[in-house]
Structure 1
Amino acid sequence: MKLIWCVVTAVLVVAHLHSVFSGKISSCPPKCTCGDALCRRRQGRVVCRGITVNCYALGLTEVPDGIPSRVTGIFLAHNSFAYIDLNDFASFNRLQTLLGDNNNVAKLMIDTPVRRLRKLSLKNNQISFLPPRNLMLLRSLVELYLQDNNIRGISEVRFPAKLEQLILNNNNLTELAPGSFRKMKKLRVLKLNNNYIAHIDQNSFRDLQGLEVLELAGNLITEVPNDSFKFLSKGFYLNLKNNRLNEIHPYSFRLFGFKNVHHHQIRLDYNQLQFLSTDLFTDLLSRKSSFSLYFAGNPVFCDCNLLTFRDEAERMIADQNRILCQSPVEYVDISVQDLNIEDCCF
């Protein structure tokens, strides 16, 4: 009898939870699946404040009919959209997440605010140009994912002021003109890996005073001018790996991260840096316990200047065992960690 009572109770609980979760979904587009979202337990009941609509890989070419008015998340990945018109989503007053990855989107349009949208992802599409000013209509947007497109420029684009993450890896960007990120004081993460950026201006990142992570790996940068990152006082991760860097200036990294208490990393590995010395990293050496620098894969010339830098930097050079001398000939393939030059006088 006790067992029967437990089974009946369990069935009633499941039925109750199902009614709380699913009873309020009034409609769902054909072939899509809809479910409750933004759920939490309140006074012994599970209350859901949102609905997700998942239309994954259905061959869609336009936004389907029948999306519930209470929708908070719409997933349209792996379809055949040629364009995304954000005006189609303006009437959904609770929409927070819109995913349109892996389509054929070549054009992005917006003329009407989508007031509560916080996350927009259009990865792996064919977008070449962004709306110059109207992205600012996405006033609540916090995350914007645009990697793996064909975007050529952003200097005229005005991004939403509340944006915290902007991902632009694997596009066709060639420059970062001063003012490209104006009024983006809340941006924390900026990823620009694998573009065609060849030059950094001293004011390229002037408006990003809250930036913590900057990734520029896999570009065509040859030089880091003085004070390139001086406005990034809250930064802790800077990735310049796999560029064409052949010159660093004594104050290239001055003031980078000085307001951030985290441990800092600067990736300079796999570039064309030949000469390394204390003179180039004076500012960082004064804070060496807070930094890790990486240099492996550079054609390093091993001389007394490098040896002095190694001994003074200590653990700040994080990959000493992977940095191999490329010249002069008597030190080829000796790691910086094992380097010993008897003729140096310190």
Structure 2
Amino acid sequence: MLNRLYLDGNLLEVVPPDLPPTLQELKINENQLKEIDDNSFRDLSSLVILELEGNLLSEGNTDPLAFSPLIQLSYLRLGRNHFRTVPQGLPRSLLELHLENNLIEEISETVFNQTINLNLVSLRHNKLDESRIAPLAWINHRHLESIDLSHNELYLVPSYLPRSLVHLVLVGNNIERIPGYVFAHMDPGLEYLYLSYNKLDGEGIEPESFFGSYDSMVELCLDNNQLLSVPSGINAMTNLHFLRLNNNKIRSIPDESICDPNHNGDATLVALRLENNYIDPQKVSPTAFSCVRASSSVVLKPQKSDRSLRKTKN
């Protein structure tokens, strides 16, 4: 009758043998697992949730056939291990894959071939750069809506992202550029884009960088970069609710930079963050925020002074 078995925080080096076939949830986090072989999950065809975080696992000691008995597995956590590549042989039934805090350097063309139902992949805190993500790795996935690539080694927003992508997290990389048309192939379109704590200075953002997301984008975070002005294309986002541009080097807010003066629809922006730039609030035209629902939703203070800018240059 046993459905759930939690073995976290022990000293297990292998998955215990002869586990009950009724198990739907198995957690062996924070142990010393050194191996997963082709019999480790034998007879566990009812397992839906498997967590193996904080162990000593890698592609070298994880058999590609290890997960094949898990025909109902939906949720797999393998964070805080020693994987350099995404493990092979992942179950076709998988919906969520968590591989945070590993050493993953590449995503091959075939690693997600079987997991056609994937909805979420988290790869934050790894060692990926955009050149090591194969063009056909996941572009044709029809259900993959959320990808977290924060705290990797990316220098630009990766191309060939899934067509179905809705939610993309790229916080804390070294991103300097958003290539033109990088979101153009997405359907129905990207809704949430988090690019906080990168190295965007405006030169790497083209007029076509956000093409394909103008009607879909709901939340855009560009805070804590090195932007000198509001990037072009933002005023064309007709469904934008939340915009973060705080902690940049923006000096002015032209009338048409955030809100399209020719747009006749309802105001859509619910929250706009612009603090910690170099903006003089007295010089911002009231019409610059015509698409914001309430003036109290605009955060303009505090601002940095030119004196602090000169200090950073020195």
Secondary structure at 2:180's aligned position in 1? coil
| Cα distance per residue 1:271-306 (max 9 Å; x no partner) | 1111212032342783572113211111224564x2
Higher RCO, 1 or 2 (CA under 8 Å, sep at least 6)?
Answer: 2
Determine whether 1:98 maps to 2:76: yes
TM-aligned CA distance change 1:308 to 1:122, over 3 Å: same
Structure 1 residues 321 and 216: alpha-carbon distance in aligned structure 2, compared to 1, 3 A threshold? closer
Residue identity matched to 1:98? L
Letter in 2 for 1:135: F
Could you list the per-position Cα deviations for residues 27-76 of structure 1 after superposition, in whole angstroms to 9, with x for gaps in the alignment?
x942998796xxxxxxxxxxxxx611221222002226442232222111
Q: Please report how far the alpha carbon of residue 151 of structure 1 lies from its aligned counterpart in structure 2 after TM superposition.
A: 1.0
Which amino acid in the other structure matches residue 180 of structure 1?
A: Y
Match of 1:244 in 2: 226
Structure 2 unaligned regions, length at least 5: 5-13, 309-314
- 8 Å CA contact 2:29–2:53 kept in 1: the answer is yes
Closer, same or farther: CA 29–273 of 1 in aligned 2, 3 Å: same
Deviation at 1:108, TM superposition (A): 2.2
In the alignment, the residues of structure 1 paired with residue 266 and residue 73 of structure 2 have an alpha-carbon distance, to the nearest angstrom, of 46
Based on CA coordinates, which of the two structures has the bigger radius of gyration? 1
Determine if the alignment matches structure 1 residue 145 to structure 2 residue 122: yes
Distance 1:51 1:130, change over 3 A: same
Contact 2:229 2:253 in 1 (8 A): no
Paired letter, 1:175? L
Shift of 1:325: 6.3
Match of 2:8?
none
Q: What is the SS of the residue equivalent to 1:266?
A: strand
The change in CA–CA distance for 1:310 and 1:248 in structure 2 (over 3 A counts) is: closer
1:69-218 paired onto structure 2 within 5 Å: 69-83=45-59, 87-110=65-88, 112=89, 114-153=91-130, 154=133, 156=135, 158-159=137-138, 160-177=141-158, 179-181=159-161, 184-209=162-187, 210-218=189-197
1:53 and 2:26 equivalent?
A: yes
- Report if the CA contact (8 A) 2:3-2:25 is conserved: no
One-letter amino acid matched to 1:236: V
CA distance in 1, matches of 2:235, 2:298: 22
Q: Is the 8 A contact 2:200 2:227 kept in 1?
A: yes
Look up the match of 2:35. Answer: 62
AA matched with 1:129: E
Pairwise CA distance, 1:318: 2.9
CA distance in 1, matches of 2:255, 2:54: 51
> For structure 1, which segment, 57-66 or 189-198, has the greater mean C-alpha deviation from structure 2 after superposition?
57-66
Say if 2:36 and 2:63, in contact at 8 Å, map to a contact too. no
Q: 1 CA distance for matches of 2:190 and 2:85?
A: 29
Which 10-residue stretch deviates more, 146-155 or 283-292? 283-292
Instruction: Name the amino acid aligned to 2:278.
Output: P
User: What residue number does 1:5 align with?
Assistant: none
Q: Secondary structure at the match of 1:280?
A: helix
Q: Which residue of 2 aligns with 1:46?
A: none
Aligned to 2:297, the other structure's residue is in SS state coil
Q: CA 1:311–1:268 in 2, change beyond 3 Å: closer, same or farther?
A: closer
Q: What is the TM-score normalised by the length of structure 2?
A: 0.78
Q: 1:94 Cα shift?
A: 1.3
Which residue number corresponds to residue 11 of structure 2? none
TM-score scaled by length of structure 1 = 0.71
Aligned residue for 1:13?
Answer: none
Against the structure 1 CA distance between its residues 72 and 285, is the aligned structure 2 distance closer, same or farther, given a 3 Å change threshold?
A: same
Q: How many residues align?
A: 283
Asked if 1 retains the 8 angstrom alpha-carbon contact of 2:180 and 2:206, the reply is yes
**Aligned-residue identity in percent:** 20
Q: Distance in 2 between matches of 1:285 and 1:218?
A: 32
CA RMSD of aligned residues (A): 3.2
CA deviation digits over 1:181-202, x for unaligned, max 9? 1xx2322211011111101122
Give yes or no for the alignment of 1:275 onto 2:216. Answer: no
